[in-house]
């Protein structure tokens, strides 16, 4: 068995665990076998892109053939720090290996990361033991049927069971993003009792502003709800009705680009003679970069000429989004509880900080989430490290690393490697951000959970291959069990679980637009809804899931077993993806976990009652 020199995830070697506020003492312990001879270990600590600093470690004595050393450091400024140990003899070093373990090496390898964040970083408490629900507004429920289409170029889909149109608009018969199923604010409002029964405490809505595609990521008017959804007043009434059910609503903020067919750019001329494209004197001209060097004459998002990029450093644009009476101010006054920032990686840190200030001006309970697909603490952009997760930018991010880990686990990936990926995020993220991170299995940008888990990967195949594909009926029982197992993991890890509309009835579909079908309100599928509602109730009732710490118990074979430790309660979560009954222990007592099932036990930290929660 490998010798443990150091492990960043064990309190025996590092306290406190994970990221720390600036000016927090961090103590590191190192063990070196006596038979290694004379060593003079130093901690080598390097702030990101700065010179390393060497700290000589104190000798703490010798026991059982091991020399013990320690050092305490106190980083005073926020940022990323990286460290390893230099033994100062024979060029030997202790560097980071898998699982946070220290490895002896003569050649420099991986360092450990220490994230230091702003000491005043706080995030809203209301979300931390809640359950989110993501709605693609056009496809959830039509509460006001028969309403007229507000624009002539929209195609109304009266048959709600039909597959979304996927033929590219470049083809003569192509209607991609032009078909509308009529989902609206009235429909969401009518279904609030259903969402409450599922345990939902927060709804995340994909874009609701007026736009000329069914996804509405090509904003046409930031200050006006899309008329097919309803009016601004209808939105305010939805927020009020949701609040009465104990549910908050956050919106999608698309601030890196607008639509070309918009009040601001107006290439298509829908909005009269003005707009940046048609009028050099337009008040919106400074928002965009016009240059003949671009293929379409202006800078556009990923080369799509229908999505002209904005210049977030334009004072006029920043004031429009963040100022009094601006976009943030308008929608929070109408009742929204925060924003999710689309492509947050592509927004400058300074602009995100202005958005944060505008959001928090309405109260510290307002939430700001960013779309980031990787570890948000190590992201780079414009030649430098991003700072948006250190306390002055985002509250938190969409947690794609957890999503990928959960799906890979139920598909058979090595449990130890999955645990390492999960704990790396727990170790790197500031606790205020981790406690409200958005954990999910599906979104409008990914395959549906059950499709990703149980069906054949698309691997770049075109939409014609993806169209109409379904998991064979003979495999659905297995697929549903594995989807629930993955959701059990998402519900019990640090962060906040988010259900993508329809996942609770096992809706299927590959990527856009097949993952955006109309919710099947005729479905009789009940195998997921009840357990998910129970998991949501468990989160509300057990404080271990309200910012509790995490400890790994076992990650081997088909088993993932970890603890969440709160102020008054501890939960043990055991997931068994294997085909056989698992007999194990939790809290020192026998516990059984069914094949492709999970067991959760909750114990008061003061000796006494043990609660038993089991599904499958």
**Residue bearing tokens 């004595």:** 61
Put simply, whether the predicted model's pTM sits higher than 0.85 gets the answer: yes
**So what's the architecture of 14-117 in CATH?**
Sandwich (2.60)
Return residue ranges of the chain for CATH 2.60.40.1180.
547-615
Q: Which of 449, 20, 437, 444 is nearest to 217 (CA)?
A: 444
d(CA 487, CA 481): 10
CB 367 within 8 A of CB 127: yes
Q: Is the pLDDT of residue 94 over 80?
A: yes
Q: Is the pLDDT of residue 606 over 80?
A: no
Q: What's the mean pLDDT in 378-389?
A: 93
Q: Which of 375, 366, 327, 321 is nearest to 348 (CA)?
A: 321
Residue 208 exposure: Cα atoms within 13 Å on the Cβ side: 31
Return residue ranges of the chain for CATH 2.60.40.10.
14-117
pLDDT at 354: 98
Orientation angle between helical segments 400-410 and 476-492, nearest 10 degrees: 140
pLDDT at 612: 55
Model confidence over 266-317: pLDDT tens digits? Answer: 999 999 999 999 999 999 999 999 999 999 999 999 999 999 999 999 999 9
Return residue ranges of the chain for CATH 3.90.400.
257-311
% of the chain with per-residue pLDDT over 90? 92
Q: Is the pLDDT of residue 13 over 80?
A: yes
Return residue ranges of the chain for CATH 3.20.20.80.
132-256+313-539
**Per-residue confidence band for 460, with pLDDT thresholds at 50, 70 and 90:** confident
Q: What's the mean pLDDT in 414-440?
A: 98
d(CA 171, CA 427): 49
pLDDT at 172: 55
Question: Which fold is adopted by the domain 132-256+313-539?
Answer: TIM Barrel (3.20.20)
Q: What DSSP designation does 536 have?
A: H
CB 351 within 8 A of CB 358: no
Helix runs in 429-460, H state only: 431-434, 449-454
Q: Which of 213, 215, 207 is nearest to 154 (CA)?
A: 213
d(CA 59, CA 50): 28
Question: Which fold is adopted by the domain 257-311?
Answer: Oligo-1,6-glucosidase; domain 2 (3.90.400)
pLDDT at 616: 43
**Per-residue confidence band for 578, with pLDDT thresholds at 50, 70 and 90:** very high
Q: What DSSP designation does 104 have?
A: E
CATH class of 547-615: mainly beta
């Amino acid at each position: 068995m490998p010798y443990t020199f150091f492990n960043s995830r064990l309190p025996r070697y590092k306290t406190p665990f994970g990221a720390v506020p600036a000016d927090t003492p961090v103590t590191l312990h190192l063990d070196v076998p006596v038979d290694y001879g004379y060593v003079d270990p130093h901690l080598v600590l390097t702030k990101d892109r700065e010179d390393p600093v060497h700290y000589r470690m104190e000798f703490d004595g010798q026991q059982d053939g091991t020399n013990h050393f320690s050092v305490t450091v106190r980083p005073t400024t926020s940022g990323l720090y990286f460290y390893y140990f230099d033994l100062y003899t024979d060029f030997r070093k202790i560097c980071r290996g898998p699982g946070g373990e220290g490895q002896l090496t003569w050649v420099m390898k991986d360092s450990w990361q220490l994230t230091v964040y702003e000491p005043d970083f706080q995030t809203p408490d209301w979300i931390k033991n809640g359950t989110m629900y993501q709605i693609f507004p056009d496809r959830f429920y039509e509460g006001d049927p028969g309403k007229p289409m507000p624009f002539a170029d929209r195609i109304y889909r009266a048959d709600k069971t039909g597959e979304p149109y996927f033929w590219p608009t470049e083809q003569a018969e192509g209607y991609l993003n032009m078909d509308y199923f009529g989902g609206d604010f009235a429909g969401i409002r009518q279904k609030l009792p259903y969402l409450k029964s599922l345990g939902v405490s927060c709804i995340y809505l994909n874009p609701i502003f007026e736009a000329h595609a069914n996804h509405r990521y090509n904003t046409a008017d930031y200050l006006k709800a899309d008329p097919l959804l309803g009016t601004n007043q209808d939105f305010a009434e939805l927020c009020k009705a949701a609040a009465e059910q104990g549910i908050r609503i956050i919106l999608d903020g698309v601030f890196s680009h607008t639509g070309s067919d918009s009040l601001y750019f107006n290439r298509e001329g829908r909005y009269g003679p003005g707009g940046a494209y048609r009028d050099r004197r337009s008040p919106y001209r400074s928002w965009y970069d016009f240059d003949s060097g671009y293929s379409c004459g202006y800078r556009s998002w990923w080369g799509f000429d229908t999505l002209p990029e904005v210049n977030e450093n334009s004072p006029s644009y920043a004031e429009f989004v963040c100022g009094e009476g601006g976009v943030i101010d308008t929608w929070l006054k109408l009742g929204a509880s925060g924003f999710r920032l689309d492509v947050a990686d592509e927004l400058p840190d300074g602009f995100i900080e202005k958005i944060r200030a505008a959001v928090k001006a309405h109260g510290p309970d307002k939430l700001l989430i960013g779309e980031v697909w990787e570890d948000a603490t190590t992201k780079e952009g414009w030649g430098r490290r991003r700072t948006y997760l250190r306390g002055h930018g985002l509250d938190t991010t969409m947690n794609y690393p957890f999503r990928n880990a959960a799906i890979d686990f139920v598909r058979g990936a090595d449990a130890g490697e999955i645990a390492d990926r999960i704990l790396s995020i727990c170790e790197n993220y500031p606790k205020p951000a981790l406690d409200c991170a958005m954990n999910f299995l599906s979104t409008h940008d990914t395959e549906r959970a059950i499709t990703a888990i149980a069906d054949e990967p698309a691997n770049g195949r075109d939409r014609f291959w993806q169209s109409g594909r379904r998991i064979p009926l003979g495999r659905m029982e297995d697929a549903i069990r594995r989807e629930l197992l993955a959701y059990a993991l998402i519900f019990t890890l640090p962060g906040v679980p988010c259900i993508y509309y329809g996942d609770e009835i096992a809706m299927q579909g590959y990527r856009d637009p097949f993952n955006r079908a109309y919710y099947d309100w005729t479905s009789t599928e009940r195998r997921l809804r009840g357990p998910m509602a129970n998991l949501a109730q468990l989160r509300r009732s057990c404080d271990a899931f309200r910012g509790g710490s995490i400890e790994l118990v076992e990650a081997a074979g088909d088993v993932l077993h970890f603890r969440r430790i709160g102020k008054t309660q501890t939960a043990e979560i055991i997931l068994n993806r294997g085909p056989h009954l698992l007999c194990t222990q939790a809290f020192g007592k026998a516990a059984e976990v069914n094949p492709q099932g999970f067991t959760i036990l909750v114990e008061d930290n003061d000796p006494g009652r043990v609660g038993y929660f089991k599904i499958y």
